[in-house]
Each structure stands twice: as structure tokens, then as C-alpha cells.
Amino acid sequence: MTETLANQYVCPMCGRTMERDIILFLKHTDTHVIERIQQANPKWETKDGICEPCVEYYRSQIAGSESNIGPAQRRRRVRMGTISLIFSVAAGIYLVSQGFSRPFRFGLFVPFFFGMFGLIQAREKTCAVLAEMGTCNMDFGTKKLQDTDIISALKKKGRKILLRSAFWAAVLTSLFLIP
């Protein structure tokens, strides 16, 4: 038995050590998630608590709420997406103010696309690239998914995200083609 400090907690599902104040206790309304966790670890009870990435993982394995990225992965995509959008707007303003012709300004589509791609993936809790590979990253490394229904649902979701990102990138780019 490993000794841990009083303010530390070892997640009973993944075995990772973390600060005690970030443990999650599931409510009765989370029955589907609780069932999933108990399937994987019959001895586990709600009072034992669980870490956030583990909850996300078991939630992601339920039909209708498929996801393949954890909270830290989502924050990373929000950050990258936001930076990309700020860059696109700044570049757009520069190109317009300097009188660059429209074919040049059309290049804004690329950073706008990556900006929207990051934000939509975070919002949908789905990485389109991981989805195509049939994998997930719930903040403890990239893992292969097993359930074929979940894999195909995630692929479908990923492709929709790609199309939505392209659509919004086109809309945003067109705003800089008007002047």
C-alpha cells in the first residue's frame, strides 16, 4: 500500500494521484455513468469518488453522448482555437488596411478554419482526427476504442465538425472580402 498525503487522493479507477479537492462524487441522476463504472469495477461505490477524466471516459462510452477527448484536451483546443481566431482577425484587418487584393485575403480561410475547428471540437468533446483513427484521449494518453458503434458514431461526428468548421471559416473569410 502506497502512502499518500492527507490532502491527496488516488482515483480508484485509474490509480492516478491528485489533489483531494478535485474528486467527483456522482449523483443518482448519473445512473448510466454509475452503471458503466460498476461494470468495469464491481467493487466501486459512488461514495468512493472518481476523477474527472475517468467520469468523462465512462460517459463517452454511452450511445448518444459519445466523446473522445477529456477536459484538459478540450481546454487545449479552446486555447489554440482562440489564438488562431485572434490571429485571423488581426491578419484580416492588416490585409484590408494595406489594400491587399481579394485572392490574398482569401488565404484567411486557413487560420479561420483551424480556429473554428479547435473551438467546435472542444464544444462537441470530439477530436475529428482521433475519431478517424478510432482512438480517444481522455487526458491519460491516446487509447484505442473497442466498441464499433461508438467508433462509427464518433467518425460521423468528426466529419460533421470538419464541415461546420469549413462553413464558419468561409463565412468569416467572406467578411474580409467585402471591403
Nearer Cβ to Zn ion (23/133): 23
* Binding piece for Zn ion, criterion CB under 5 A, among 28-36, 44-52, 90-98, 125-133: 44-52
* Under rule CB under 5 A, residue 26 binds Zn ion: no
Closest CB 13 distance from Zn ion, rounded Å:
4
Helix runs in 61-179, H state only:
71-97, 102-105, 109-123, 128-132, 148-175
Q: Is residue 138 part of the contact set for Zn ion (CB under 5 A)?
A: no
Specify whether the CB–CB gap between 54 and 83 falls below 8 A. no
CA dist 1 → 16, 17, 144 (Å): 14, 13, 30
**Residue recorded with cell 469549413:** 166
Site track 47-66 with Zn ion (rule: CB under 5 A), x = hit: ----x--x------------
Q: What is the number of other CB atoms lying within 10 angstroms of the CB of residue 21?
A: 7
Q: How far is the CB of 126 from Zn ion (least distance, A)?
A: 20
Choice from 13, 37, 120, 172 touching Zn ion (CB under 5 A)? 13
Tell me the CA distances in angstroms from 173 to 43, 82, 85, 143, 147, one per residue in order. Answer: 54, 16, 11, 36, 39
Instruction: Work out whether 11 is an interface residue with Zn ion (CB under 5 A).
Output: yes
Query: Which residues are at the interface with Zn ion (CB under 5 A)?
Result: 11, 13-14, 51, 54
